[in-house]
């Protein structure tokens, strides 16, 4: 990775003594991208909890999933359309105890919650839109490494994430093995599988086929491809849950007084998908959905490294792999592949009826695993 300008802290960026938990912004300069292309200036939005200690060895990086952001914990409010997506895991006495740890979460490159993405302003004063370059998981980690440099964090006590966040956490451990003491990979994979890519294709097509898409340059048209984005989210959300959970929860129930049998009404499960489609349309940019989905499709830690097994041999720290037993999008076999190929890997299983979303919903189980992993290192004096 090369940069053509010096990274710098911008207004509102982190300084020792700042209040914690608020979104901050930092410029990391220009970034050359893996697949070609260049971003002349990248801004990163991030939040912190706790305080970095004098030794600077108590920092934890939390990586969000596809439609998440830096707001891991805390209420909805200015700049935060929704409450924290992993509430209860960060704070005094929580698995990531802010009396002990300094927790950092950044919005990902290509996102739409403050970090440079397609809706950001390009040098010509217009939104990037269709001109935004292709980014990979490695590019996203590259930008996070620049953020780490600015925060004065040479080595993370832990880097963790689920789904797309797990891809980045694993990429961190492979690309920067000397900078990650522990990598925790939840409900994720070492590479995007054919089925995962196949599920993504109709989502990408739904957005791009929307008449309001305008080739990706819809920002000046007063409307965006909300219908296409909603369809994409409906498709994705089915893969996030298990067949049994949907059956037990909805069965063949109709939605309220609506009559689906010849009456044009909806089944309850259709109303559920409509609800999630409406939620995403109000808080997420369709172009970011495209950019991040294609970044996930590109994910392969073995690319140009001699394959997955060779790449995993680069991991120098502790590797913890957590799968969800009912996950049909990132099935347990993918977690097992990582664990079996990586030296010193440890495995855990989250038991849940909720499928892939189990890593977000089963906070008690996930929190127990995280507390066990991070707490044991602290007790053993292994954080360094």
Give the active site residue among 101, 188, 356, 357: 356
Do 63 and 160 contact (CB within 8 A), yes or no?
Answer: yes
Give the active site residue among 27, 163, 188, 352: 163
- 35-to-38, 66, 117, 138, 295 alpha-carbon distances in Å: 9, 20, 16, 10, 11
**Close Cβ partners of 336 (under 8 Å, ≥ 6 residues apart):** 323, 347
One-character DSSP codes across 198-256: HHHHHHHHHHHTSTT-GGG--GGGT---HHHHHHHHHHHHHHHS-HHHHHHHHTT-BST
Give the active site residue among 69, 285, 300, 327: 327
CA atoms of 114 and 97, how far apart (whole Å): 26
Torsion on CA atoms 45, 163, 2, 173, rounded to nearest 10: 120
First to last CA, the chain: 26
Catalytic, 163? Answer yes
CA atoms of 305 and 314, how far apart (whole Å): 10
Catalytic, 356? Answer yes
Q: Is the dihedral of CA 87, 90, 94, 95 positive or negative?
A: positive
Q: Coil, strand or helix: which one is 315?
A: coil
- 31-to-1, 41, 168 alpha-carbon distances in Å: 7, 7, 17
Q: Catalytic amino acids? A: 163, 327, 356
């Amino acid at each position: 990775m090369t940069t053509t300008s010096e990274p710098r802290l911008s207004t509102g960026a982190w300084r020792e003594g700042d209040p914690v938990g608020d979104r901050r912004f930092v410029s990391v300069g220009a970034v050359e991208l893996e697949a070609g292309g260049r971003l002349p200036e990248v801004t990163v939005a991030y939040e912190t909890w706790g305080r970095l200690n004098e030794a600077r060895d108590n920092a934890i990086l939390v990586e969000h999933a596809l439609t998440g952001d830096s707001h891991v914990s805390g209420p909805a409010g200015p700049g935060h359309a929704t409450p924290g997506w992993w509430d209860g895991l960060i704070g005094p006495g929580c698995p990531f105890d802010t009396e002990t740890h300094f927790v950092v979460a950044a919005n990902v490159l290509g996102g739409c919650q403050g970090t440079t993405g397609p809706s950001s302003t390009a040098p010509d004063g217009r939104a990037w839109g269709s001109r935004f370059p292709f980014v990979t998981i490695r590019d996203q980690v590259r930008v996070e490494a620049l953020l780490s440099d600015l925060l004065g964090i040479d080595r993370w006590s832990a880097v963790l994430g689920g789904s797309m966040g797990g891809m980045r956490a694993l990429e961190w451990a492979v690309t920067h093995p000397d900078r990650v003491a522990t990598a925790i990979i939840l409900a994720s994979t070492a590479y995007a599988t054919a089925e995962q890519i196949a599920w993504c294709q109709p989502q990408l097509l739904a957005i791009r086929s929307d008449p309001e898409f305008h080739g990706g340059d819809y920002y000046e048209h007063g409307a965006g491809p909300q219908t296409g984005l909603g369809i994409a989210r409906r498709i994705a959300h089915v893969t996030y849950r298990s067949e049994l959970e949907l059956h037990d929860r909805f069965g063949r129930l109709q939605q309220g007084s609506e009559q689906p049998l010849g009456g044009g009404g909806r089944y309850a499960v259709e109303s559920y998908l409509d609800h999630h489609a409406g939620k995403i349309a109000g808080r997420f940019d369709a172009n970011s959905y495209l950019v991040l989905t294609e970044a996930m499709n590109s994910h392969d830690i073995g690319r140009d490294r001699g394959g997955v097994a060779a790449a995993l041999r680069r991991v120098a720290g502790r590797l913890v792999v957590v799968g969800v037993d009912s996950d049909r999008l990132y099935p347990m076999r993918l977690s097992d592949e990582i664990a079996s190929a990586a030296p010193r890997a440890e495995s855990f299983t989250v038991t849940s009826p909720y499928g892939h979303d189990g890593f977000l919903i089963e906070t008690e189980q996930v929190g127990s695993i995280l507390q066990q992993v991070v707490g044991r290192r602290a007790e053993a004096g292994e954080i360094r």
